[in-house]
Amino acid sequence: MNVPEKPKMMNYKRHLLVCVGPRCSENGESQSLFDSLGEKFKAAGIDSGESRVKRTRTTCFATCKSGPILCVQPDGIWYYNVTPANLDRIISEHLVGGQPVEELIYHRGPDCVFGIGKEG
């Protein structure tokens, strides 16, 4: 019996999930945001090493309002209305600085490490 080769993955500190589904943003804004992440991560110094942020496209989070929407794991932070300017804030304040952008959060996961209360 052939056993498939085990996949390999580089270490990362956080995982950014970006919904690029058609109901999350009307004109492909989510895909454009996702496409910009490589350069933005490199400029912020979070594309490699101990601070590396992995990024993944998803097709639906089933919360199809006020997109683009993204989720930062393992932090359990869910952001809405992620415009290019808001994405820059999320990268600099949360992914680099370690402080979530409170006014853009619409949900906190069950094991959220930031804050005392949970929203949602």
pLDDT digits (tens, 9 = 90+) for 10-28: 999 999 999 998 887 778 8
Q: Which CATH class is domain 14-108?
A: alpha beta
Which residues touch 31 (CB under 8 Å, ≥6 apart)? Answer: 20, 57
pLDDT of residue 118: 42
Q: First CA to last CA across the chain, in angstroms?
A: 47
pLDDT of residue 27: 81
- Is the peptide bond prior to 4 cis by the omega test (within 30 degrees of 0)? no
DSSP state letters, 59-104? S--S--SSS--EEEETTTEEE-S--HHHHHHIIIIIIITS---GGG
Asked if residue 68 lies in contact with residue 102, where contact means CB atoms within 8 angstroms, the answer is no
Helix (H, G, I), strand (E, B) or coil at 23: coil
Residue 116, pLDDT above cutoff 60: no
pLDDT of residue 120: 41
Asked if residue 17 lies in contact with residue 60, where contact means CB atoms within 8 angstroms, the answer is no
pLDDT of residue 39: 97
pLDDT digits (tens, 9 = 90+) for 42-101: 999 999 999 999 999 998 888 877 889 999 999 999 999 999 999 999 999 999 999 999
